[in-house]
Amino acid sequence: MADEVFRHDGYMSEFEAGIVSINGDEIIMDCTCFYPGGGGQVCDTGTINGFRVTDVHYNDSGEIVHVVPGHDLSVGLRVWCSLDWDRRFDLMMGHTGEHLLFCSLHREDPELAITKIYISPEEKYVIVNHDIGWDLIGRALVFANQQIENNLNVRKTTMSREDPDISKVRIKLEKIPEGQEITVVSIGDIDYSACSGVHVMETGELEMLFVDRKVSAGKDGVAIHFKVGRAAREAAMQLANICLQVIDEANSKPQDIVKTVANMKKDLAVAAEARKASAKQAIRNLRPRDVNGTPVYASMFADADRKTLSDAAEEFRSKGAAVVFVSVGESVSALIASGTSKVDCRKILPEVLSAFGGRGGGKPENAQGGIPDKAKAQELFDALVAAVEKSLA
């Protein structure tokens, strides 16, 4: 087996090695500093004798394979290898940052658990089992960045599953084969986690840790996205500037903006309910026009709730009627439906919308779409009604 240098020295970025096996683009060497990925961290990239290494992974035999497209290397050759160091160091910071972030979050919420980790140059996140508030994240970041300022040592040690200290290690023992040594990464005395990834040696190397967003990860939980180092500083400054613009637009103060936005959301919800009630009342008052025996329900609405209009259109359609609804808000949305085969909604709607620079689609019995120009809403409505009535003639 090759000497996996990255396990004991994450900072070696250039090295000499001998090629022991070649299979097409796949090269195996007698030693390597290339991390093959694992623990949520992507693999390293770099060069071997100037040829690009695009992927690194373990094969089924547990050997580290370096994928080097288009090389002219041969077995037995001594080669000079170089990692993409800036990329590697960013991944090292990200992995240590993930440990520090989760440790800090877990201090605030002991019920929090990790379901997935992803560390790459493009994005870094940890998925936790349930949602957490920004107040909690804020407190965790204060603690985490204090530990960065304290410049704690980050150490790698090994222990057995019978070690009495294993109880303080974050680990899923059921995933560790019996008899296998466990690599533990410790951050000062605040966190101990089973991990075989590459890490920085001191928390001060992270410079800064910052959470810039959290999003649903579906059944896995919530993804907490974070940045480290210069990227963290830039993200913090960018979001601070955006927040200041929001505060200015809301005519509020920094200490009041959360309450101000909450009140705005409440007002918007009340307004939406009022629009929904207004649309429902207008629909109840709507009387159809008879066109050759087919009732046609047609009306324009002011920023009506789409579901309210869709439900009403379906009810009318199910009784054999044709429907033309146009709603005017920030843009213009149109909905047509038909309970008769004479009116092909899928054909009519796109044809009419295209004349107004709009788009839409659907099925023969119902279709939806819209146009950007509110000034043409009435003209669009008239054109749709005319097209439906022409089909019924």
Q: What pLDDT was estimated at residue 49?
A: 97
Hey, is 274 helix, strand or coil? helix
Among 60, 9, 68, 74, smallest CA distance to 35 is for 9
Whether residue 260 lies inside any domain: the answer is no
Q: Is 388:299 a contact under the CB 8 Å cutoff?
A: no
For the chain, percent of residues with pLDDT exceeding 90: 89
Tokens found for residue 308: 């309210």
Examine the domain organization and report whether 100 and 221 are in the same domain: yes
Q: What is the pLDDT of residues 344-368, one digit of tens each?
A: 999 999 999 999 999 999 999 999 9
Query: Among 65, 83, 101, which residue terminates a domain?
Result: 83
How sure is the predictor about 180, in pLDDT bands with cuts at 50, 70 and 90?
confident
Query: Among 202, 229, 249, which residue terminates a domain?
Result: 249
Examine the domain organization and report whether 230 and 322 are in the same domain: no
Is pLDDT above 90 for 111?
A: yes
Q: What is the pLDDT of residues 15-57, one digit of tens each?
A: 999 999 999 999 999 999 999 999 899 999 999 999 999 999 9
Examine the domain organization and report whether 288 and 336 are in the same domain: yes
Whether residue 267 lies inside any domain: the answer is no
Whether residue 29 lies inside any domain: the answer is yes
Whether residue 112 lies inside any domain: the answer is yes
Examine the domain organization and report whether 228 and 305 are in the same domain: no
Q: What pLDDT was estimated at residue 96?
A: 98
Examine the domain organization and report whether 76 and 108 are in the same domain: no
Is pLDDT above 90 for 164?
A: no
Domain count, the chain: 3
Whether residue 264 lies inside any domain: the answer is no
Examine the domain organization and report whether 66 and 103 are in the same domain: no
Q: Is 87:45 a contact under the CB 8 Å cutoff?
A: yes
Examine the domain organization and report whether 93 and 199 are in the same domain: yes
Examine the domain organization and report whether 286 and 235 are in the same domain: no
Query: Among 83, 111, 131, which residue terminates a domain?
Result: 83
Whether residue 269 lies inside any domain: the answer is no
Mean pLDDT (the chain) is: 95
Examine the domain organization and report whether 59 and 96 are in the same domain: no
The CATH number linked to 64 is 2.40.30.130
* Angle formed at CA 75 by CA 74 and CA 81, multiple of 5 degrees: 75
Examine the domain organization and report whether 95 and 26 are in the same domain: no
Whether residue 47 lies inside any domain: the answer is yes
Examine the domain organization and report whether 239 and 99 are in the same domain: yes
Contacts of 26 (CB under 8 A, 6+ apart): 59, 65, 66, 67, 68
The CATH number linked to 366 is 3.10.310.40
Examine the domain organization and report whether 94 and 197 are in the same domain: yes
Whether residue 261 lies inside any domain: the answer is no
Q: What is the pLDDT of residues 93-106, one digit of tens each?
A: 999 999 999 999 99
The CATH number linked to 128 is 3.30.980.10
CA distances from 288 to 99, 298, 319, 362, 383 (A): 65, 7, 12, 23, 17
How sure is the predictor about 1, in pLDDT bands with cuts at 50, 70 and 90?
confident
Is pLDDT above 90 for 220?
A: yes
Domain that holds residue 70: 3-83
Mean pLDDT of all residues in 141-169: 92
